[in-house]
Amino acid sequence: MNDSLNIIAHEQAVTAANYDPLPVVLTEARGVWATDVDGKRYLDMMSAYSAVSLGHGHPRILKAMSEQAARLAVTSRAYHTDVLGPFLAKLVALTGLDVALPMNTGAEAVETAIKAARRWGYRRKGIAVDQAEILVAENNFHGRTTAIVGFSSDASYREGFGPFPGGFKRVPFGDAEAMTRAVTDRTCAVLVEPIQGEAGIVLPPEGYLKDLRTLCDKRNLLLLLDEVQSGLGRTGRWFAHQHEEIRPDGLILGKALGGGVYPVSALVGTRDLMEVFGPGSHGSTFGGNPLAARIGLEALAVIEDEGLVQRSAELGAYLLERLRAMRSNVVVDVRGRGLWVGVEIDPSAASARSLCDNLLREGVLSKDTHGTVLRFAPPLTITRDEIDWAMERIEKVFAQLPDPHASHAQVSPAQASHAQA
């Protein structure tokens, strides 16, 4: 334990305090299991917010990464390579869209979508210059850039970082009628997460995405879906919007696309949307580099070859069943889709962060959000036996919590004796 404390202290001394990590120092991981510097093993029930959907150190990903790095790693987009085309062709085929633009991180891909939507609004809809507006959802999370936190409804993401660029209007999530009322002649796009992850794995009402698709078709708007967390099998379909059988105009992908070893993201869209870009209009030194393209292509192949989408659907349903069957008076709600579940906690009984700390001691890695929701998003490679192993420890932690509805009145022995008499 001294090793852990020393490492944590050294890290804190030289690291900006923009995170508050759980008190564990991980040093090795394979599959769904991670090991700390003291030799203790943990079952990873977070998978880096879906970035490690294929598990830690997947052998096919490591092999592809090593081979490509040894051959050709980074060139910038100043030149063609023999791997970018196959990678983006696979993305286009999977999404049913037409053209892809590769970037590095999810936030970059969101920024790319914002730029594309605005230029589309000016060139296709004739919106007055610098007047385009994008409708977003309350409690959204699309990244951490200045523009993105500027339209966040979470005050802690915004505090001290202004002034923010305009051009966004927030609308309640899941309310298609409110979205309809918010549309004006300046509106060029609707940008939403099909399921809100950072907000606490919040699912919209059934039919919400279909209603948005209908609205966008009727008013000549773009429908942009951020599936950085929900995409690539996490919800039991390749993409969460497929549960409602719709097609967006722009699809934002990331996290799992990097196979758990490298940042890879992309905006995939219709030709009508993506034709707004021309040489010099957008770029990234590392975006679409050969190493990223090779890893991304292999990640997609692994998901397909190992049946991880169906695995997520089946084991996700099992995980939801187990969590909903758990008897605990502190659980307000259990919600999710596929291997992506949020357990909302009664804040009068415990904080979600304290539960994360308790689960850590039992060997389960999880993470809270907004103080009231415990998130579970294990690698899609997890087995039913490993879910059972985790559930035994989750149930143990919840069983130790006091009942918030029980009477807190203290009765003395004398009072009890008097009552019995």
Q: How far apart are CA 338 and CA 318, in angstroms?
A: 9
Is 90 a residue of the active site?
A: no
Instruction: Compute how many other C-beta atoms are within 10 angstroms of the C-beta atom of residue 270.
Output: 18
Active-site residue, selected from the candidate residues 255, 286, 367, 368: 255
330, 304, 306: which is closest to 394 by C-alpha?
330
Contact residues for 263 (Cβ-Cβ < 8 A; gap 6+): 104, 105, 254, 292
DSSP state of 205: P
Active-site residue, selected from the candidate residues 36, 44, 141, 239: 141
Is 141 a residue of the active site?
A: yes
Is 226 a residue of the active site?
A: yes
In order, the DSSP letters of 65-115 are: HHHHHHH-----TTS--SSHHHHHHHHHHHHT-SEEEEESSHHHHHHHHHH
DSSP state of 122: I
Active-site residue, selected from the candidate residues 226, 249, 367, 398: 226
Beta partners for residue 398, in sequence order: none
Contact residues for 275 (Cβ-Cβ < 8 A; gap 6+): 99
144, 219, 164: which is closest to 189 by C-alpha?
219
296, 295, 298, 376: which is closest to 336 by C-alpha?
376
Active-site residues, by number, are: 141, 226, 255
